[in-house]
């Protein structure tokens, strides 16, 4: 029965994809319309479907999409695909959303991001916005043979595991790990303060433990720093300063820089490696890492939400803002 549901949903997603230009390096669906959640977002049948389309040439893609789906765009459509791409790339988290679109009888929202910007975010966590989405189970609808993108997707998952390890005790459950991973991209997100359900992360993880296990199982089994007791669903990690230093040195570049900024006194300008060595010996290592995450997520989430005002139609603006607060 579950297999049939997966197959039918895959067909439904591909039918929606057929309404858009084909030149996609990656397309995925995510959120409560794809994977069951508990709480306010539990109505999966009527939930909005969220998509992200990754494109090599955003100007060319928007040009074709404007011809096919002119009514999807806000007033920015009259300025043309180059201006839309400029807004997409240079403001917020590098993604342009068209919200509240009826397509094949379903309400959808889709974001467009350039392949190069996504790869940078996956590797370095510049914004941890779409990279954060991809740390949770998603439904891959289309993907080409871009080796760099595939490698970056894998690196993003490994970075999520390492970051979560630094914020967890020596021994913990699978559920503890997946809750920590799912919460990475919400660290410092202002929407969690002004509107999001405070139990959102739990609501994402609890019904989807099997999907998280499928996503991270092989990474955990191959990681030399963890003892993964699969039958018991328990894990043990090396919390020695040496072990933590090794983990800190493999973190994405932007997170390392933010940790350095948190710890570095004004005017001292210490080397990042020196700072990370200090953090490895700090009993509050996990809290320092969490502060570094917040310094990435907070500004990108605020800028991206502000950009939504300009990419949504005026008549739909308040509905969209309400949806963002509740979704």
Q: How confident is the model at residue 36 (pLDDT cuts 50, 70, 90)?
A: confident
What does pTM read for this prediction?
0.87
Q: What is the pLDDT of residue 37?
A: 79
Mapping DSSP to helix (H, G, I), strand (E, B) and coil, where does residue 102 land?
A: strand
Give which of 294, 293, 256, 286 is closest to 274, Cα–Cα.
Answer: 256
**Pick from 57, 45, 53: which is nearest to 20 by CA?**
53
Give me the CATH code for the 1-237 domain, please. 3.30.460.10
Per domain, the residue ranges of the chain are 1-237
Average predicted confidence (pLDDT) for the chain:
86
CA 234 to chain centre: 25
List pLDDT tens digits, range 118-134.
999 999 999 999 999 99
pLDDT, tens digit, for every residue of 129-155?
Answer: 999 999 999 999 999 989 999 999 999
């Amino acid at each position: 029965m579950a297999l049939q549901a997966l197959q039918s949903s895959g067909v439904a997603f591909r039918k929606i994809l057929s309404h858009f230009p084909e030149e996609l390096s990656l397309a995925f669906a995510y959120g409560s319309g794809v994977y069951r959640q508990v709480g306010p977002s539990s109505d999966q049948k009527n939930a909005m479907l969220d998509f992200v389309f990754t494109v090599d040439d955003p100007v060319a893609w928007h040009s074709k999409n404007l011809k096919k789906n002119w009514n999807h765009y806000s007033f920015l459509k009259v300025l043309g695909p180059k201006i839309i791409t400029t807004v997409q790339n240079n403001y917020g988290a590098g993604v342009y959303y068209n919200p509240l679109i009826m397509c094949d009888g379903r309400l959808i929202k889709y974001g467009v991001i350039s392949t190069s910007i996504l790869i940078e975010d996956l590797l370095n966590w510049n914004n941890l916005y779409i990279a954060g989405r991809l740390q949770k189970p998603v439904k891959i609808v289309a993907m080409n043979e871009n080796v760099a993108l595939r490698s970056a997707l894998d690196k993003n998952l490994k970075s999520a595991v390492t970051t979560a390890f630094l914020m967890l005790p020596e021994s913990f459950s699978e559920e503890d790990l997946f809750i920590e991973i799912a919460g990475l991209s919400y660290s410092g997100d202002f929407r969690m303060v002004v509107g999001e359900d405070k139990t959102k992360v739990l609501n994402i993880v609890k019904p989807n433990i099997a999907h998280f296990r499928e996503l991270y199982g092989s990474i955990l089994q191959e990681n030399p720093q963890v003892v993964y007791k699969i039958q018991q669903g328990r894990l043990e990690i090396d919390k020695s300063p040496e072990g933590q230093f090794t983990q800190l040195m493999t973190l994405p570049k932007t997170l390392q820089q933010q940790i350095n900024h948190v710890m570095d006194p004004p005017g001292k300008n210490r080397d990042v490696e020196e700072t990370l060595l200090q953090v490895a010996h700090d009993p509050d290592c996990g809290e320092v890492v969490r502060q570094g995450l917040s310094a990435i997520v907070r500004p990108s989430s605020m800028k991206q939400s502000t950009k939504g005002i300009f990419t949504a139609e005026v008549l739909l603006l308040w509905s969209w803002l309400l949806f963002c607060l509740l979704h």
